């Protein structure tokens, strides 16, 4: 059973305000890099909200994993596939579903800094500060949540629950 934590309506409202915040701090044509798989729904909806906020962002994706089929992070970030290559001199906004240990966002940001991006920022739907193991904060945060195992809105547990239009916790 999944108990709803953040409603579909609350997510939509926060997306609009996040897009306005981002439009004030990023260049109009920022390159949005969505982290797969968990961040794909948030990335798509944020991308459209950025358009409504007057931006013309580019988009690309990168696949990272640290959970597999477990409820606990393995502690190791794995890169699957290619890293977006046209980042030199560009402003990058890395978009992810959850900032918990901090490893995935730190890893992604470091790759783009190493490849010559002019500026690299992070945006997360959910922030779990109680789980932080790496000294990193996101530049833009949708919601802060307690240390619960969450699903929905693209976030899964063993490839289930991604389809839910809200964020919930498995009970």
| 3-class SS letters over the chain | CEEEEECHHHHHHHHHHHHHHHHHHCCCCCEEEEEECCCHHHHHHHHHHHHHCCCCCEEEEEEEECCCCCCCCCCCCEEECCCCCCCCCCEEEEEEEEECCCHHHHHHHHHHHHCCCCEEEEEEEEECHHHCCCCCCCCEEEEECCCCCEEECCECECCECCCCCCEEEEC
Q: What is the pLDDT of residues 59-74, one digit of tens each?
A: 999 998 665 544 555 5
Instruction: Please identify every residue annotated as catalytic.
Output: 100
132, 100 Cβ separation under 8 angstroms: yes
Q: What is the pLDDT of residues 4-33, one digit of tens each?
A: 999 999 999 999 999 999 999 999 999 999
Phi-psi map region of 10: left, alpha, beta (phi>0 left; psi -120 to 50 alpha): alpha
pLDDT of residue 72: 52
Task: Give the mean pLDDT of 25-52.
Answer: 95
What are the residue ranges spanned by the domains of the chain? 2-64+77-170
pTM over 0.85: yes
Fold of 2-64+77-170: Rossmann fold (3.40.50)
Distance CA 156, CA 164 (A): 10
Q: Look at the block and give the residue holding tokens 């044509």.
A: 29
More confident of the two residues 171 and 165: 165
Beta sheet of 78-80, edge-to-edge order: 78-80, 58-65, 31-36, 91-99, 119-127, 140-144
- For the chain, how big is the Rg over CA atoms in Å? 15
140, 121 Cβ separation under 8 angstroms: yes
């Amino acid at each position: 059973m999944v108990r709803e934590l953040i409603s579909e309506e609350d997510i939509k409202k926060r997306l609009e305000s996040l897009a306005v915040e981002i439009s004030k701090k990023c260049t109009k044509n920022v390159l949005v890099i969505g982290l797969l798989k968990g961040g794909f729904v948030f990335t798509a909806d944020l991308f459209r909200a950025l358009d409504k906020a007057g931006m013309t962002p580019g988009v690309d994706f990168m696949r990272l994993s640290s959970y597999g089929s477990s409820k606990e992070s393995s502690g190791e970030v794995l890169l699957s596939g290619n890293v977006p290559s046209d980042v030199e001199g560009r402003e990058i906004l890395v978009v992810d579903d959850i900032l918990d240990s901090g490893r995935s966002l730190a890893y992604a940001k470091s790759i783009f800094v190493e490849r010559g991006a002019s500026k690299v920022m992070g945006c997360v739907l959910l922030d779990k500060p109680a789980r932080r193991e790496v000294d990193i904060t996101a530049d833009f945060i949708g919601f802060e949540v307690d240390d619960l195992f969450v699903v929905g809105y693209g976030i899964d547990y063993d490839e289930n629950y991604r389809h839910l239009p809200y964020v919930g916790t498995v009970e």
